[in-house]
Structure 1
Amino acid sequence: MTSLLHRYMLTQTLAGLGVATAIISSVILLVDFVEQTRAISTRIDISAIELIRLTSFRAPSLIETTLPFILLFGVLTSLFRLNRQSEIVVMRGSGVSAWRILAAPMVLSIVIGLFGAMVLNPLGAAGNAIFERERDILMNVEYDEESLQPVWLREANIDGYTVIVAEDLRENQQQLIDTAFLYFDVGPDGVPSMSRRIDAPSAYLREGFWEMEDAVERVPEAAATNLGRVTLPTGINRQALFERARSPEGVSFWDFPALIASAREAGLATERYELRYHSLMALPLTLLAATLIAAAATMRLHRLGGATAFAAAGGLAGFIMFFLQELLSSVGAAGSLPPATAAWSAPAITALLALTYIASTEDG
């Protein structure tokens, strides 16, 4: 009996998740398709098929982002339908507890959370990299397999600002390849004008200065000057280069431990990367919390009335959890909260509140 019940609830939950996945994925992919159409097709002539292909590379990442809503509305749909058809009433009347009814959806949410963190996230990171490369090729941006990280940095100085351009960034060596330092003076009218340019095959970031070999200086209306070895003062630190090289959203789940460890050894701040890593580890709990919210909103007997209002309240509670999670993540990224606390608090609190409500209605 128990095994048959679990299989039935698993089937019904999967059906609801299938509907939610199809609807939510279609919406977000359509929105992304429109965004790519606006960003790319206004600059180059590109077919709709090519735009669809580009959008498909971003699909795993977009679906991973919406997993909590897919679980929330998928479980809401399946449980609301079972409640409306009085199937939950029959189950409860047969002596089946709410916990046995919810066992399959809860286990499924944890499994999907593990899949999302360990499989979908790496696929999303790889897909985003392919998307950016394909987009650059289509838009005739110079692309070199050995030079994947073109760099643009801007730094203010006394008379104006300096723009640093490089073809590549070797983050581990704190080295810029094929570097140009463009110095701009800003006049009284606020219009910038380039006063000089220094080129070098490479530039190494030291403590408070750039170090270059074979540097060449060019100024307007004058011949180029070979400077040889030169050092230039800078306020840019290693953290700026590290964050330029590695965006947390572009790192695979499996690469975070080594990345965080190497950054700590180099004395770099790792809060944003730890926060992202903890958010991925907390994904099963987040999806479980979404499932419990849906259960708390739909386990009320349909004949008592107000089932639709409760279901709507469940959807609203899911958005509140998401908002709280984003708020705590922002606080954690600023360093005001430990990354683990910022990532785990919202789903943990939500899950406990939902469990408390279900227990109070089940046991009185």
Structure 2
Amino acid sequence: MTIVVTLSLYIVRQFALAVFGMLLALSGLVAMFDFIELLRRSASLPEATFGIVAQIALLRLPYIAMQILPFAVLLGGILCFWRLTRSSELIVARAAGISAWEFLAAPTFCAFLFGVVATAGISPVSSVMLARAEAMENAYLRSGGGPLALNGGQLWLRQSDRLLNPQGVAIIHAYGVQLKGHQLSARDVSVFRLDGNDKLLARIEATKATLIPGAWELENARTIRPDQLPELPENRTLPTDLTVNRVQESFASPDTLSVWALPDFIALLDRSGFSSIRHRLHFQALLALPLLTATMALVSAGFSMRPARRGGVAKMIGSGVVAGFALFVVSKVAEEIGQSGALPVTLAAWAPAAAGLMLAVALLLHTEDG
């Protein structure tokens, strides 16, 4: 047992160093190309100085590392296990009666921990920095109005209507949405107030609406009820639990939200009538990341532990890289299908990693002869 523990610790150290080095190399390479692309976009914009572009690129670096992590585990694992096989260390261990499952348990668990740390620790930092990077990008590199630059300048919202009853809802339609500082305003606003059975109780037409903390301020609001004459225009307020930040976040990328904030925000989106598919899929993908990194570790082992004397090592390693990239492509295709609603969110997020895990286990069962 002592030999197995010592060997496992040695392999974990080699594996972690290889993965960490590959993560730094790949993240630096991708970040360099991202920086070059930002420089190209800022060439005709005097406000976007070199310092601002560099700051945006640095703020995006943790997000890039999160996306690269599964590849770093795959390529780092292939490098680590290939070196150990080439030096005959794994061959000697297996000849001594140590099963591949015994010395692979530790690096697989290490890869799983990489995923856990990335999901629980790096993801919140990445989301904050990415949100800041997108805000700077909207301010300096884009001519649009950011996430609130909607099609035709229109905005649809759905919120609870506390003035009627707990089951009541208010559907808001507005034109000319503008965000100035921390204030959201719109013109030509229509509010449809429904009861719990989706029966129309009243309609409010206002020339302008401004979102303030806890309420909408409606100017020249005229209330129209079924079978009644329209009321005279007046300024009034409509209670709401929406804020400017929440409206912005609902249109922003889910990557800008921390994994710890996503459950409450998903519940808010569902209450407000926004589609939460993207956010639920992103949340499930973050939860599945540890399984995906562990799967990549097993895939790398299955394709790189072939003894050099048998030949075909380069072909096996190339097949491992192709298999890893194929798993990534399948996960992205499943994500797109999940966003369309054709697949359940949980299945779209977890199925690729689970399928890859079964493939890796089958490959190791075929390879292991001890």
**Does TM-score exceed 0.5, indicating one fold?**
yes
User: Which piece of structure 1 moves more, 86-95 or 314-323?
Assistant: 86-95
Structure 1 residue 321 corresponds to structure 2 residue 291: no
Partner of 2:10: 8
Q: Which amino acid aligns with 1:202?
A: T
Unaligned runs of 5+ in 2: 155-173, 189-205, 222-231, 236-246
Q: Are 1:168 and 1:177, in contact at CA under 8 Å, matched by a contact in 2?
A: yes
The whole-number CA distance in structure 1 between the counterparts of 2:257 and 2:115 is: 18
Choose from 88, 91, 113 the match for 1:86: 88
Partner of 2:109: 107
Partner of 2:158: none
Partner of 1:310: 316
The whole-number CA distance in structure 1 between the counterparts of 2:252 and 2:270 is: 14
The whole-number CA distance in structure 1 between the counterparts of 2:102 and 2:321 is: 23
Q: Which amino acid aligns with 2:152?
A: R
**TM-score normalised according to structure 2 size:** 0.74
The whole-number CA distance in structure 1 between the counterparts of 2:211 and 2:9 is: 62
Q: Alpha-carbon deviations, 1:168-211, whole Å to 9, x = none?
A: 699xxxxx823356xxxxxxxxxxxxxxxx9735279xxxxx99
The whole-number CA distance in structure 1 between the counterparts of 2:209 and 2:42 is: 33
Partner of 1:224: none
Q: Are 1:105 and 1:291, in contact at CA under 8 Å, matched by a contact in 2?
A: yes
Q: Which amino acid aligns with 1:177?
A: L
Partner of 2:55: 53
The whole-number CA distance in structure 1 between the counterparts of 2:124 and 2:147 is: 20
Partner of 2:22: 20
Q: Which amino acid aligns with 2:331?
A: Q
Partner of 1:177: 184
The whole-number CA distance in structure 1 between the counterparts of 2:141 and 2:25 is: 31
CA 1:344 to 1:93, structure 2 compared with 1: closer, same or farther past 3 Å? same
Per-residue deviation, 1:80:
0.9
CA 1:363 to 1:302, structure 2 compared with 1: closer, same or farther past 3 Å? same
The whole-number CA distance in structure 1 between the counterparts of 2:144 and 2:362 is: 57
Choose from 113, 116, 119 the match for 2:118: 116
CA 1:31 to 1:266, structure 2 compared with 1: closer, same or farther past 3 Å? same
Q: Which amino acid aligns with 1:352?
A: M
CA 1:101 to 1:203, structure 2 compared with 1: closer, same or farther past 3 Å? closer
Q: Alpha-carbon deviations, 1:27-71, whole Å to 9, x = none?
A: 111011011111224312655454333211111111101111010
Taking the TM superposition and a 5 Å limit, the aligned residue runs for 1:1-364 are 1-44=3-46, 48-135=50-137, 151-154=149-152, 164-167=176-179, 177-180=184-187, 200=208, 202=210, 212-214=218-220, 244-363=250-369
SS in 1 for 2:186: strand
Q: Which amino acid aligns with 1:78?
A: C
Per-residue deviation, 1:229:
5.5
Q: Alpha-carbon deviations, 1:279-308, whole Å to 9, x = none?
A: 000000111111111011012212111111
Q: Are 2:119 and 2:286, in contact at CA under 8 Å, matched by a contact in 1?
A: yes
The whole-number CA distance in structure 1 between the counterparts of 2:100 and 2:307 is: 12
The whole-number CA distance in structure 2 between the counterparts of 1:271 and 1:334 is: 8
Q: Alpha-carbon deviations, 1:254-299, whole Å to 9, x = none?
A: 1111112223334543222111110000000111111111011012
The whole-number CA distance in structure 2 between the counterparts of 1:260 and 1:51 is: 32
SS in 2 for 1:202: strand
SS in 2 for 1:253: coil
The whole-number CA distance in structure 2 between the counterparts of 1:350 and 1:255 is: 29
User: Which piece of structure 1 moves more, 81-90 or 64-73?
Assistant: 81-90
Aligned residues: 311
Per-residue deviation, 1:329:
0.8
Q: Are 1:86 and 1:302, in contact at CA under 8 Å, matched by a contact in 2?
A: no
The whole-number CA distance in structure 2 between the counterparts of 1:347 and 1:329 is: 12
Q: Are 2:47 and 2:140, in contact at CA under 8 Å, matched by a contact in 1?
A: no
Unaligned runs of 5+ in 1: 157-161, 171-175, 182-197, 205-209, 216-226, 231-240
Partner of 1:237: none
Please, what is the CA RMSD of the aligned residues? 3.4
Q: Are 2:108 and 2:294, in contact at CA under 8 Å, matched by a contact in 1?
A: yes
